[in-house]
Amino acid sequence: MVPSLLLFLAHQFTQKVLGLSIPWADNYLDTLLCMPILLGGYRLEQRWLLGRQRLSFLEVVAITAVLAFVFEYLFPRFSSGFTADWWDVAAYFAGALGFYWWQERRNAEGKGWFHWFAV
């Protein structure tokens, strides 16, 4: 979660403050980082409230599917300020799979709740 959040903030700074445009990053980087940030926050909440160390693959896929549906279907359907982009859906799932892989790798290395900040 933290590396994704730092990369997201760095991109926002370069785009909004410095005025630098990197077309691929401007279009898809934030979408790619969305799920690792949101899932990392959800996992952190689950640790604090329930003591759970990981999210299941089904949880990761279900949360990603619901959010992709809301962001890429419902929002554009009801507001002209949003545009549906199926490449964004692919980016959400790529980010979610990256999050799941990272989580499983951290668990396999024996990094428990103490290392939550390095999600």
Query: How confident is the model over 1-26, as pLDDT tens digits?
Result: 688 889 899 999 999 999 999 998 88
Question: Residue 99: is it exposed, middle or buried by C-beta count within 10 angstroms (0-12/13-18/19+)?
Answer: buried
Decide if 93 is inside a domain: yes
For residue 111, what pLDDT band results from cuts at 50, 70 and 90? low
Decide if 28 is inside a domain: yes
Q: What is the DSSP letter of 80?
A: T
pTM of this prediction exceeds 0.85: no
Question: Which helix H or strand E contains 56, and what residues bound it?
Answer: none
Tokens coding 94: 């790529």
- pLDDT number for residue 52: 87
Residues spanned by the domain of 25: 2-113
Decide if 106 is inside a domain: yes
Please count the residues of the chain: 119
Decide if 31 is inside a domain: yes
Decide if 119 is inside a domain: no
Between 17-26, 46-55, 77-86, 107-116, the lowest mean confidence (pLDDT) is in 107-116
- The count of structural domains within the chain is 1
- pLDDT number for residue 110: 65
